[in-house]
Amino acid sequence: MNKNLSKVPQDILIVDDTLANLKVLSETLTNEGYEVRAVKSGQTALTAVQTMPPRLILLDIHMPEMNGYEVCQRLKANEATCNIPIIFLTASNEASDKVKAFESGGADYIAKPFQIEEVLARVKNQLGIQAAQAEIRQLNAALEEKVKERTKHLNQKINELEQTKKVLHDTFYDRLTDLPNRILFSKHLDQAVIRTKKNPHYGFALLFLECAWQGINQSGSQLVEHKLIVAIVKKILSSIREVDTLARIGNDKFIVLLPEIQNIYRTTYIAQQIHQQFTSPLSISQQQIEVSISIGIVLGTEEYQQPAHILRDAKFAAHQAQKLGRNHYCLFNSTQQSVSPG
C-alpha cells in the first residue's frame, strides 16, 4: 500500500440515535487511533459529511425522521460523497434488511449488539479497501499521464519522420508529376550500368524525350502548362511497361529507362507507341495543344563505363531527331558515332 495513503487521518463518522452506541463505538475507535465524529440524526450526518467528508461512515439503519437507507441513498447520489464507504449498523437479523442495505449502497453491515473485534475488523477492512482503491486511482492517473507523455513523444517522432520522408521525397521526386527526378534516375541508371558490367548478356535502353508544344494562350498559361505536362506524363506512362522507369529531368524533358532489352526492335516499338499518343492535339482547359516529342535512343551495353556518357549520347540523339521534324526518334550508334533516324 502507498505509504502516503497510510499517513492520511482515518476520519470516521458514526451516526446513531442511541447515545450508548455512540459512546461505545467512539471510545473503541478512538482507542485504536482513529479520528471520530459522532452525530445522532440523519440530517445532521448529511450536514457533517458536506462540511468535511469522512473516510468511513458507520450508519444506524433505524432512526427517526430519516433512516439510514435514505441517508445512504442521498450520499451515493452525490458525486462528492458517493465513494465514501458506509457500514450499516442494524439490530435486525432479517435477510431482507441486509439485502436492502446493500441495494441502497452500503459496503458492509455490523449486527447489534456489537462485538468489538468484529467492529474493528470490518472498519479496518473497509478502510483498507478504500486505501487500495485510492492507490489504484493514483496509479491509473500516473499511468494515464505517462501514456500521454509517451503518446506526445511518439507523435513528435512520427511528425519528425513524416518531415524527413517529405524532405527525402522532395529530394528524389519531381513535385509536379511525382516522377523520379534526375538525382533518383541517376541511381537507377548507375545500377543498370553496374549490372551490365557483371552480366554481359544483360541489356537495357535509354530514351531521352524532348517535348515541344504550341497553342497555349497567355491567360493562365502557367497553370495550363502544368496540366499539359501532367497529361503528357499520363500518355507516356500508358505507352511503356510497368518495369520501365520514367523520370522528369527538366520542364519539357523526360527519360525512360527500359530494362531487360536485348535488341533495338522492342525499344523502337515503345518509341513508336509514345509517338502514337501525340498524333492528335491534347485538350487542356478548353485549349487544343499540339505536342511533339523528339526521342533519342541509346542501347546500354558493357561498352559504356560511365552512366553520364549514356545520358550524353541519348540527349545528342534526341537533338538529331528534333532536326528531322515533328515526332521522330533517332538511335545513337556508339560504334560509328552517328545517329540513325527512326
pLDDT greater than 70 at residue 237: yes
Q: Phi/psi of residue 240, each to 5°?
A: -110, 175
With CA atoms as reference, report the closest residue to 312 among 233, 255, 266, 227. 255
What's the pLDDT at 91? Answer: 81
> What percent of the chain shows pLDDT beyond 90?
67
pLDDT greater than 50 at residue 293: yes
- Per-residue pLDDT tens digits for 79-125: 999 999 999 988 877 777 778 888 888 888 888 888 889 999 999 99
**First and final CA of the chain: distance in angstroms?**
88
Q: State the SS3 of 112-176.
A: CCCCHHHHHHHHHHHHHHHHHHHHHHHHHHHHHHHHHHHHHHHHHHHHHHHHHHHHHHHHHECCC
In angstroms, rounded to a whole number, what is the distance separating the alpha carbons of residues 191 and 198?
11
What's the pLDDT at 9? Answer: 58
What's the pLDDT at 2? Answer: 45
Sign, CA torsion 313/316/318/321: negative
What's the pLDDT at 10? Answer: 80
Task: Give the CA dihedral 231, 236, 239, 240, nearest 10 degrees.
Answer: -140
**Looking at the chain, which residues constitute the CATH 3.40.50.2300 domain(s)?**
3-140
pLDDT greater than 80 at residue 232: yes
- Per-residue pLDDT tens digits for 183-216: 999 999 999 999 988 887 888 999 999 999 987 8
182-341 topology per CATH: Alpha-Beta Plaits (3.30.70)
What's the pLDDT at 334? Answer: 56
Cell of 4: 502516503
pLDDT greater than 80 at residue 146: yes
In angstroms, rounded to a whole number, what is the distance separating the alpha carbons of residues 296 and 305?
19
Bin 27: left if φ > 0, else alpha if -120 < ψ < 50, else beta.
alpha
**Looking at the chain, which residues constitute the CATH 3.30.70.270 domain(s)?**
182-341
Domain boundaries 3-140, corresponding CATH code: 3.40.50.2300
pLDDT greater than 70 at residue 338: no
What's the pLDDT at 220? Answer: 67
With CA atoms as reference, report the closest residue to 193 among 335, 313, 281, 293. 313
- b/e burial code for range 182-215 (CB count within 10 A of at least 16 → b): bebbbebbeebbeebeeeeebbbbbbbbbbebee
- Per-residue pLDDT tens digits for 308-332: 999 999 999 999 999 998 899 999 9
Residue with the three cell numbers 558490367: 197
| Mean of the per-residue pLDDT values of the chain | 89
What's the pLDDT at 219? Answer: 65
Least confident of 62-76, 215-229, 232-246, 288-302: 215-229
What's the pLDDT at 341? Answer: 56
3-state secondary structure of 64: coil
pLDDT greater than 90 at residue 29: yes
Query: Residue 255 burial by CB count (10 A; 0-12/13-18/19+): exposed, middle or buried?
Result: buried
Sign, CA torsion 130/133/138/139: positive
In angstroms, rounded to a whole number, what is the distance separating the alpha carbons of residues 161 and 155?
10
Q: Are 300 and 281 in contact (CB under 8 A)?
A: no
What's the pLDDT at 26? Answer: 92
What's the pLDDT at 230? Answer: 96
